[in-house]
Amino acid sequence: MVSSQTRPQNADRLLRTLARTVWLVAIFLAALVVAPEASAAGGSVKFNSTEVNEISGAWRLFVTIQLTKAPPTAHLPLKFLFTKTMVYERSLVDGKSEPVTTRTALSGQNPSIESLDVDFADGSGKIFKGTRFDFGLTRQRGYEAGEYKVQIRTVDGTDIGAPQTIILKGDNEVVDRRTIAFNAKDPKIKKIDGVDGGAKTAGGGGDDVAPANGGGDVAPVGSGEAFIPKDAYNHTAEEDINVKPKSGCGCDVPGSSSIPTPVVLVGLGLAAAVLVARRRKAA
């Protein structure tokens, strides 16, 4: 016979078991709904050729993608990450008339991301787990001749296959790395430790050049001309001052000491007026 206390305990255990089961089922269904691409991720990636030539300003890549299972939709959005690891620099250097190609290794570069919709279905609409896909890379997108590490990834961050290395072949823009030397071809100018403009001594020294007179005092040689020439003191016609001729000519020179005629007449008139006034008073 079951006691009244045992029945509530069994009911509580049953409710807890049912709640745990419902919770696990809900988590499983949420994982299937939220990340359908993750269930189809994994697989492998293979490029038809790891070295691609530039044709008409673009590099055409052909890749085969294999998933572990067919994706839930015909078109699967994928991200192609291109990380530059080696750049092929063409530069002009001293002593070379043609550009020189130099392979320069890079590290810590941020990847260039190409987001593409990849088709996994045929014409009838049937979805497969594998597909062949091709696309192009252009210089307008920032790509140049060199080596890249490529990783294909789903939108939720799951990698598909292992990273691949491809080489984009072509001619990059020329970089001028020559030193500035306007007279580098002048045979009179020699080089000292690779620098133009110096002249070596017979003993091979650079800056230590012995003086020509043995280090003594320098004595003047020859006679120098005077700073002011002797003919500078000769009298010239321009230095003569024009003076008024002694014989009268009926004209006057401005600035002379003679009193003008109008002034004399005015003075005589004033004197005559004074005399007439005195006579009137005397009368």
Residue 282 lies in a domain: no
3-state secondary structure string, 121-146? ECCCCCECCEEEEEEEEEHHHCCCCE
Per-residue pLDDT tens, the chain, 283 aa: give them.
Answer: 445 555 566 666 767 776 667 666 566 555 544 444 434 457 899 999 999 999 988 999 999 999 999 999 999 999 999 999 999 999 988 888 899 999 999 999 999 999 999 999 998 999 999 999 999 999 999 999 999 999 999 999 999 999 999 999 999 999 888 887 554 565 654 544 444 444 444 444 444 445 555 555 666 666 666 667 777 667 676 666 565 555 555 555 555 555 556 666 777 778 777 777 777 777 6
- CATH for 137: 2.60.40.2950
- pLDDT of 255 reads 53
Give the bridge partners for 171, in sequence order: none
Q: CB count, 10 Å around CB of 170?
A: 17
Residue 245 lies in a domain: no
Tell me the whole-structure pTM to 2 decimals: 0.51
Residue 53 lies in a domain: yes
Give the bridge partners for 133, in sequence order: 63
Cα–Cα distance, 41 to 154 (Å, whole number): 7
- pLDDT of 274 reads 75
- pLDDT of 198 reads 44
280 phi-psi bin (left φ>0, alpha ψ -120 to 50, beta other): alpha
- pLDDT of 273 reads 79
Residue 198 lies in a domain: no
Q: Which two tokens stand for residue 242?
A: 């024009």
- pLDDT of 121 reads 95
Residue 63 lies in a domain: yes
- pLDDT of 201 reads 42
Residue 189 lies in a domain: no
Residue 90 lies in a domain: yes
Asked whether 128 and 66 are in contact (CB, 8 A), the reply is no
Identify the domain containing residue 157 by its residue range: 44-176
- Which residue is it, tokens 């190609």? 101
- pLDDT of 223 reads 66
Give the bridge partners for 52, in sequence order: 168
Residue 76 lies in a domain: yes
- Number of domains making up the chain: 1
